[in-house]
Amino acid sequence: MSKSKIIQLIKSVLSAAMGVQSDENRRKEFEQGSLLTYVIAGVIFTVLFVGGLILLVSVIV
């Protein structure tokens, strides 16, 4: 996977997580990319996000 595709994948996952992903971009990405790639990236993002929240709360408390 090239560097530009990885950056696009990250942008897509972050956009979808924030709820600002356009329907046009979503369709284009799933036509060009692999579903498995997006699922794996989504799981990694979710684990990092939840881990970050746990770390933040443990530091504050």
Q: What is the pLDDT of residue 59?
A: 96
**Cα(28)–Cα(30) distance, rounded to whole angstroms?**
6
Can you give the residue range of the structural domain that contains 23?
3-60
Residues of the chain with pLDDT under 70: 1
Domain count, the chain: 1
Q: Find the helix packing angle between 35-60 and 23-32, rounded to 10°.
A: 120
Q: What is the pLDDT of residue 47?
A: 95
